Amino acid sequence: MSGESGIISPGGGVLPAAAARRRGLDARGLRHAVAGGQLVRVSRGAYVDAQSWAGADARGRHLLRMAAAATRLDLPVFSHHSAAAAHRLPVLGSWPEKVHVTAPCATGGRSQLDVVRHCTADVVATADVAGLVVTNLARTVVDLARTQSMSCGLVAADAALHSGAVVLADLLAEADQVHSPRGARRMRRVLAHASPHAESPGESFGRARFLELGVAQPELQHEVVVGRRRYRVDYWWPQLGLVGEFDGRLKYLVDGLADDRRALEDRVWAEKRREDDLRAAGLRVIRFVWADWLDESTLVPKLVAVGLLPSRRSAGAVLGYAAR
What is the total residue count of the chain?
324
Most confident of 6-10, 102-106, 221-225, 314-318: 221-225
Mean local confidence (pLDDT), 246-260 = 55
Which has more confidence, 192 or 316?
192
Instruction: Kindly report, as residue ranges, where domains of CATH 3.40.960 are found in the chain.
Output: 201-323
Could you give the percent of the chain with pLDDT greater than 90?
A: 61
The pLDDT, as a whole number, for residue 27 is 85
CB contact at 8 A, 187 and 153? yes
The pLDDT, as a whole number, for residue 269 is 67
Q: Is the pLDDT of residue 106 over 50?
A: yes
Reference 150, options 182, 118, 181, 189; nearest CA is 189
The pLDDT, as a whole number, for residue 321 is 35
Compute φ and ψ for 228, nearest 5 degrees: -95, 0
pLDDT digits (tens, 9 = 90+) for 111-157: 788 999 999 999 899 999 999 999 999 999 999 999 999 999 999 99
Which has more confidence, 135 or 107?
135
The class that CATH gives domain 201-323 is alpha beta
The pLDDT, as a whole number, for residue 61 is 95
| Axis-axis angle for helices 201-213, 184-193 (nearest 10) | 120
Amino acid letter at 102? T
The pLDDT, as a whole number, for residue 44 is 84
Q: Is the pLDDT of residue 251 over 90?
A: no
b/e for 144-157, b at 16 or more Cβ within 10 A?
bbbbbbbbbbbbbb
Q: Among the listed ranges 135-149, 201-215, 262-276, 310-324, which one has the minimum average pLDDT value?
A: 310-324
Q: Is the pLDDT of residue 259 over 60?
A: no
The pLDDT, as a whole number, for residue 15 is 86
Query: By CB neighbour count within 10 A (0-12 exposed, 13-18 middle, 19+ buried), where does 114 fall?
Result: middle
Q: State how far the Cα of 143 lies from the Cα of 135, in Å rounded to an integer.
A: 9
* DSSP tag of 11: T
pLDDT digits (tens, 9 = 90+) for 19-38: 888 887 888 888 988 899 88
The pLDDT, as a whole number, for residue 289 is 92
The pLDDT, as a whole number, for residue 207 is 98
Q: State how far the Cα of 324 lies from the Cα of 315, in Å rounded to an integer.
A: 15
Q: State how far the Cα of 35 lies from the Cα of 37, in Å rounded to an integer.
A: 5
| Residue 306's pLDDT band (cuts 50, 70, 90) | very high
Q: Is the pLDDT of residue 304 over 70?
A: yes
Mean local confidence (pLDDT), 6-10 = 50
Averaged pLDDT score across all residues of the chain = 87
Q: Is the pLDDT of residue 10 over 60?
A: no
Q: Is the pLDDT of residue 1 over 50?
A: no
Which has more confidence, 90 or 319?
90
pLDDT digits (tens, 9 = 90+) for 153-182: 999 999 999 999 999 999 999 999 999 999
